Amino acid sequence: MLLNDAANGTSNLAATLKAIYSKRDNHILPFVGAAFDHPASDKLRVLVVGINAYVSANDWDKINPAWFARWFEHSAHRFYKGVKEEATNLAAALVDRSEALHGMKLVWPDSFYATNAIKTYLPEADGKRADQVSPEPPDEHASTWRDELDAIAEHGALPHLIVIFGEPFWKHAWSAFKPPHSDNYKHLRVLDHQHTNGPSLHFVNRLRPGGANGEQTALLVRLRHPSSRTKKGSVSWLLAQKDPWSLAKG
Closest by Cα among 52, 114, 53 to 88: 114
- Split at pLDDT 50, 70, 90, the class of 1 is very low
Q: What is the pLDDT of residues 24-79, one digit of tens each?
A: 999 999 999 999 999 999 999 999 999 999 999 999 999 999 999 999 999 988 88
Q: What is the mean pLDDT of residues 211-219?
A: 92
Burial tier of 96 (Cβ tally within 10 Å: 0-12, 13-18, 19+): exposed
Q: What is the mean pLDDT of residues 210-219?
A: 92
Q: Where are the alpha helices (DSSP H) in the chain?
A: 12-21, 34-37, 67-73, 78-97, 124-127, 136-154, 170-175, 235-240, 243-247
Residues 6+ apart with CB under 8 A from 154: 16, 186, 187, 188, 211, 212
**pLDDT above 50: residue 9:** no
As separate numbers, helices (DSSP H) first and strands (DSSP E) second, the chain gives 9, 10
Please report the pLDDT score of residue 139 as a whole number. 78
Chain CA centroid to CA 47, Å: 3
147-164 burial, b at 16+ Cβ within 10 Å, e below that, comes to bbbbbbbbbebbbbbbbb
Q: What is the mean pLDDT of residues 148-175?
A: 96
Closest by Cα among 61, 56, 63 to 28: 63
Please report the pLDDT score of residue 245 as a whole number. 58
Residues 6+ apart with CB under 8 A from 64: none
Give the residue with greater pLDDT, 204 vs 6: 204
